[in-house]
Amino acid sequence: MAGVEALADELRSLILSGALPTGSWLRQERLAAEFGVSRTPVREALRALQARGLIEFHPHRGALVCGPTARDIREAYDVRAELEGFAAELAAEWARDAELDRLTQAAGLFERLIESEVARPTQPAGHERPDWQEANDLFHVAILDAAGNRRLATTIEDLHTSFPRNLTWSALAGHSALLIENVDQHRRVLRAIQARDGSGARAAMVAHVRRAGDLVGRRFDELAAQAGATDPRI
């Protein structure tokens, strides 16, 4: 079962990052050969994607990638913004010194990795998960842990499972100004939490996540335009 879940996660990430764009056909034989597995886990992984509305099965043709849409992305990020804003507010109230230290270290690591990324010669964005994205996750997880609300953390994690954070790096990678802007947003959230300013922390986090949602939504609009795709839900 773990192999099926890992394969489904990989395929979902490729779909959500645009590597497998809307309108792509997924053939079980080809996927089995590419991932070095039998057709059975491929079939089960595709059914998991179907349950999430990411693909549609067509008899004698295969599985067709059908989502998400830019509207789906924006709506998910609006929800995530409110949830993570609440987490930041709770963190400002309840974070212990050790948790504040961990959050400060995560923010510092993210900033250093972004500085390194910006200093590099411009390169096309690949599908590999960059180090700075890992650091970004550490920052957000540190806030959730400091908030101390397990139900909230579970709800946010469920949302991330449907819309992985690699969506954000697919929109930011290769754009120095946007990466630097992201660092500044983290600083605002961190400073508000350190100052025990719950309302300020919440507002800063909501603005941060909504900005990411706007950027990712635009990226999906671009991908749809490039593919000549139209979707009445967008």
Query: What is the average per-residue pLDDT within 15-44?
Result: 88
Domain check: are 22 and 56 in the same one?
yes
Domains in the chain, number: 2
Q: Which of 44, 65, 86 is the last residue of a domain?
A: 65
Q: Is residue 234 part of a domain?
A: no
7: three-class secondary structure by DSSP: helix
Domain check: are 98 and 194 in the same one?
yes
Asked if pLDDT for residue 26 goes beyond 50, the answer is yes
Domain check: are 49 and 74 in the same one?
no
Question: Residue 195 — φ and ψ, nearest 5°?
Answer: -85, 0
Q: Which of 22, 42, 65 is the last residue of a domain?
A: 65
Would you place residue 168 in the very low, low, confident or very high pLDDT band (cuts 50, 70, 90)? Answer: confident
25: three-class secondary structure by DSSP: strand
Is 103:190 a contact under the CB 8 Å cutoff? yes
Q: Which of 26, 43, 65 is the last residue of a domain?
A: 65
CATH of the domain at 95: 1.20.120.530
pTM to 2 decimal places: 0.77
Q: Is residue 232 part of a domain?
A: no
Q: Is residue 53 part of a domain?
A: yes
CATH of the domain at 46: 1.10.10.10
Domain check: are 184 and 107 in the same one?
yes
232: three-class secondary structure by DSSP: coil
Query: What is the average per-residue pLDDT within 196-210?
Result: 98
pLDDT confidence of residue 231: 43
Domain check: are 42 and 105 in the same one?
no
**What are the DSSP calls for 39-99, one per residue?**
HHHHHHHHHHHHHTTSEEEETTTEEEE----HHHHHHHHHHHHHHHHHHHHHHHHH--HHH
E strand or H helix that includes residue 26: strand 25-26
pLDDT confidence of residue 69: 73
Domain check: are 21 and 80 in the same one?
no
Domain range holding 87? 70-227
